[in-house]
Structure 1
């Protein structure tokens, strides 16, 4: 049995791609303010037999009832006919900026954080999402966001979500999940809210599948996937986009993760190396895995910076969080473990658990970085989707 899923604030479709990868869901709708990201969304979902309707631009210009009406072409024309509505309302208003290191007079260093902006208008987009739930009355709901959503307004945001959904007959739970616990080779925490109607016989959160072994304790968990597991099999990075190549160009690997990501058709697109500027290259060459920016020699130390920018990833550990600025070494730990370059966008996609058949349709590297870094890791989404499918099947 296959279920229907509509994806609001979809971006390139990482969340719904995870649902599709289970083989249990068909995507019927995608919305995003970024029209080019929706091109990627449609292109990749069409490979799996879905033909979703898309709506680009700021959906606040479209009444929720009109957006719901877009599903009529699929016969989903009455409340309760859609199986699940998923979405990640833009999170910039919830996000807490990473630590900046500032050099004070006299050479003293300090870390600063910008406070949460609880007055950001984008925080209200979750209310539009809730209004859409009220009209569609899907059997289940999944909301994804940064962990700060749970603490936003001292917890008032998730309480408002729970209270609003309870008034229209939904049970609600939320949890912060760590992507590396589900096979994603990356330290990334995301908040999820799951809601279901009374007709659904409950929902069980997915159990972790990967973790560190404890001395003397037998564990069923598989080892955490590392950067080496994720990207070491990829062909050498190209100087310019050359399209797909033969699968024989993959390097040999024992990594089950890499084998699961590889294409049976051809090596992937978006695997292009960009040469950093002279000063950035000097900083990167001075870095070793595990070093942070303050470990740089004084002559290479920026006056103000993120605490782990210009850092190198470690072969033997999962990546740090892949962000929408993952193409820029000055924005985080995005340096290749050995080579004097940043990670390619395909390497970033691998670290996000996008398989190699997933194409990012943009000629702009910053735009591809935004699509990759803003997405929900599909492998984490798939773990949730499998549990949601079990609940829907009751």
Structure 2
């Protein structure tokens, strides 16, 4: 939103580690509290802003109940957190609203949640529509589809942000029309190859390779210090297992090729990155991926690159946690996986900003 030219006044999140990361990098206040217990007035006071200062309210209610990556639970209490988001909207009455979720929200309960959002925002005076966007179409090296609800006061028409990239979602990016108005998808290798020097159990605070692509240069900017680039210390057994994967292969692929007795794992969501294609959706579980060059999982920094976080953005809190602690002390890996890719968010922010400014220009004329 900042890169789209918007000033961020305040935010709220239940996790202290996420709030610490937010305040460190964004600079505005992040109120740490369960939004179900946070009244609009308390949010305004602790966030140090007035409702009439707000043009846009952005929200990303937790999506565990909707996600096909986890249990598909109609009764998950987190499914109702979009209502708290709409309570804030109702109190502020901004010119525009933007809400993100996983695509499962469109079909869950036969579309009831989607319909509730559209009907409620209509009652609040917003012309709201939704769209499914793939992050790869906006320069993110990741085939990540998410749903965005956008609404405007005064009946302003909702429009999609202009696509910048294109490619194949089904195969490696090997063919591209040079006459196309779009750029080709950003591949995994072109996104993180300058970080691939790190071996198992190693850590680096400085770059060891020069940037090789425009994307790498864009993510680095003028950054000299390297943050969040520490590789797990896998056992020899784990490294040998990882070495059996070919680029782009999943556990099922490897088992079909060499036999299940040769791979010996109960986890079937592992996939080795294909260097010549965007990755699949980054999740909060880093062990879902194997690096294409090293026999290890990606570092926080590498996954942040795949999400399109610039290298100056430093993640705070523990690098990883296990079991129940993951839901209370949100680790760096989960913060990365939960995020909307910044390049996609920027495209949305620019589209909304242009629409709002267009309204004001017409009114002034």
**TM category, shorter:** 0.7 to 0.9
Q: Which has the higher helix share?
A: 2
TM-score for both structures, normalised by structure 1: 0.80
Corresponding residue for residue 393 of structure 1: 357
| 1:126 counterpart = 2:85 | no
TM-score for both structures, normalised by structure 2: 0.86
Q: CA deviation at 1:252?
A: 4.1
Corresponding residue for residue 230 of structure 2: 272
1:349 and 1:196, CA in 2 relative to 1: closer, same or farther beyond 3 A?
A: same
Corresponding residue for residue 38 of structure 1: 19
Residue of structure 2 aligned with 1:237, choices 198, 209, 212: 198
Matches within 5 A, 1:55-134: 55-71=31-47, 73-74=48-49, 76-78=50-52, 81-97=53-69, 116-134=72-90
Aligned partners of 1:354, 1:252: CA distance in 2, in Å? Answer: 16
Q: Is the 8 A contact 1:261 1:353 kept in 2?
A: yes
1:300 and 1:362, CA in 2 relative to 1: closer, same or farther beyond 3 A?
A: farther
Per-residue Cα deviation, 1:232-256 (whole angstroms, up to 9, x for no partner): 122622745554x3x6x44241x11
Q: CA deviation at 1:274?
A: 1.4
1:168 and 1:216, CA in 2 relative to 1: closer, same or farther beyond 3 A?
A: closer
1:229 and 1:303, CA in 2 relative to 1: closer, same or farther beyond 3 A?
A: closer
Aligned partners of 1:349, 1:216: CA distance in 2, in Å? Answer: 29
Q: Which runs of 4+ in 1 moved over 4 A?
A: 213-217, 238-242
Q: CA deviation at 1:216?
A: 7.2
Q: Is the 8 A contact 2:300 2:319 kept in 1?
A: no
1:242 and 1:224, CA in 2 relative to 1: closer, same or farther beyond 3 A?
A: closer
Corresponding residue for residue 53 of structure 1: 29
Q: Is the 8 A contact 1:345 1:365 kept in 2?
A: no
Aligned partners of 2:134, 2:342: CA distance in 1, in Å? Answer: 13
Q: Is the 8 A contact 1:230 1:258 kept in 2?
A: yes
What is the Cα-based RMSD across aligned positions, in Å? 2.1
Which runs of 5 or more structure 2 residues have no equivalent in the other structure? 169-174, 322-330, 359-365
Aligned partners of 1:146, 1:94: CA distance in 2, in Å? Answer: 7
Corresponding residue for residue 101 of structure 1: none
Corresponding residue for residue 267 of structure 2: 305
Q: Is the 8 A contact 2:231 2:297 kept in 1?
A: yes
1:289 and 1:303, CA in 2 relative to 1: closer, same or farther beyond 3 A?
A: closer
Q: Is the 8 A contact 2:101 2:148 kept in 1?
A: yes
Aligned partners of 2:251, 2:125: CA distance in 1, in Å? Answer: 50
Corresponding residue for residue 322 of structure 1: 282
Residue of structure 2 aligned with 1:211, choices 166, 190, 193: 166
Q: Is the 8 A contact 2:14 2:34 kept in 1?
A: yes
Residue of structure 2 aligned with 1:221, choices 153, 167, 182: 182
Per-residue Cα deviation, 1:366-392 (whole angstroms, up to 9, x for no partner): 411001111110001011011011012
1:371 and 1:175, CA in 2 relative to 1: closer, same or farther beyond 3 A?
A: same
1:53 and 1:217, CA in 2 relative to 1: closer, same or farther beyond 3 A?
A: closer
1:154 and 1:272, CA in 2 relative to 1: closer, same or farther beyond 3 A?
A: same
Aligned partners of 1:127, 1:163: CA distance in 2, in Å? Answer: 12
Which runs of 5 or more structure 1 residues have no equivalent in the other structure? 1-18, 47-51, 99-113
Aligned partners of 2:176, 2:241: CA distance in 1, in Å? Answer: 38
In structure 1, the residue corresponding to 2:18 is in which secondary structure?
helix
Q: Is the 8 A contact 2:198 2:204 kept in 1?
A: no
Q: Is the 8 A contact 1:186 1:352 kept in 2?
A: yes
Q: Is the 8 A contact 2:239 2:296 kept in 1?
A: yes
